[in-house]
Amino acid sequence: MLLLPACGGGSGSEPLVVFAASSLGEVAPQIEPEATVVLGGSNELAAQLRDGAAAGVFLSASSKPVEELRAAGIVERPIAFASNRLVVVTPPDDRAAASLADLERPGTKVVLGGEGVPVGDYARQALRAAGLERALTRVVSLEADANGVLGKVALGEADAGIVYATDARAARGKVRSFPVPARYQPRIRYYAALVSPGSESARRWLDRLLGEVGRAALRRGGFLQVDS
C-alpha cells in the first residue's frame, strides 16, 4: 500500500510527508504544494507510523488512533482542527432510502465502515442514538474506509451507506445524499499531531493548516470549524 521507504524522520532537506485520513484528500494537498500527502484509513496510517513510517504530520479522523500514538510517544499532543457531519448516501436512480429510518426496512442493503473505522463507528453511534439498531442487521458489507462505502453505493450494488458530508460532496453526481438529523449527529473531530520529535517543516505545515490557508481550504471542502 505504502511504497515510501522509512528513511529519516523528515529531517533537513527531505520533502515533508503528511499522513492524512482519506476524507481529507481534497484539503490536505492544498496546504503546501511541496509536501507529499499520503492518504489512508486513520488506523492503517497509525499502524504504519507505529512501524516507523517517515511522516512529519498525522491527520486523524477520530481521536482513538492519534491518542494511542500519543500514549506510545510517537506523536506530540493532538489538536482538534475540524469537524464534519454524517449523511446517508443512496444510488442516484434509487429511491430505496429517503430517511434514516428507511435503513431499517427489510431487504435494504446497507454498507457502513467496519468496526474501529471512524466513519463506521460514528455511523453506528448515530443509528443507536436514533434507536435504529435494526438497521445494523441490514448491513451487507463493512468497508475499510468511506471510499469503500461510497463505491458500493455509487455502483448501485448497495441501497444506502453512511459517510461524511464532505465525501458525499466530493462524489456528487454519483450519489444522492441527505443529512443525518442534527440530534443524532455524533461529535466528529479531526485531529492533527506532529510526529515526534517534530521537524521544522512539519511545524510550519501544521501552522498553515491551523491558520488562514487551512481554514479556507477546509471551508471549501465542506468541513466545519471547531470551537476551540
- Judged by the rule CB under 8 A, the positions of this chain that interact with other proteins are 41, 43-44, 47, 50, 109, 111, 114-117, 139-144, 148, 151-152, 155-158
Nearest approach in angstroms of CB 168 to other proteins is 20
Nearest approach in angstroms of CB 110 to other proteins is 10
Nearest to other proteins of 39, 206 (CB atom): 39
Nearest to other proteins of 21, 206 (CB atom): 21
The C-alpha cell at 211 is: 491558520
Nearest approach in angstroms of CB 33 to other proteins is 29
Q: Cα–Cα distance between 22 and 207 in angstroms, integer?
A: 21
Say whether the peptide bond before residue 106 is cis (omega within 30 degrees of 0).
no
Nearest approach in angstroms of CB 207 to other proteins is 31
Nearest approach in angstroms of CB 68 to other proteins is 10
Contact 192, 57 (CB under 8 A): yes
Q: Cα–Cα distance between 145 and 149 in angstroms, integer?
A: 7
Q: Cα–Cα distance between 79 and 190 in angstroms, integer?
A: 8
Nearest to other proteins of 133, 200 (CB atom): 133
Q: Which of 1, 12, 7 is nearest to 52 (CA)?
A: 7
The C-alpha cell at 101 is: 429510518
Residue 18 bridge partners (DSSP): 37, 57
Q: Which of 222, 187, 194, 218 is nearest to 81 (CA)?
A: 218
Nearest approach in angstroms of CB 111 to other proteins is 7
Task: Give me the amino acid identity at 109.
Answer: K
Nearest to other proteins of 154, 170 (CB atom): 154
Nearest to other proteins of 157, 200 (CB atom): 157
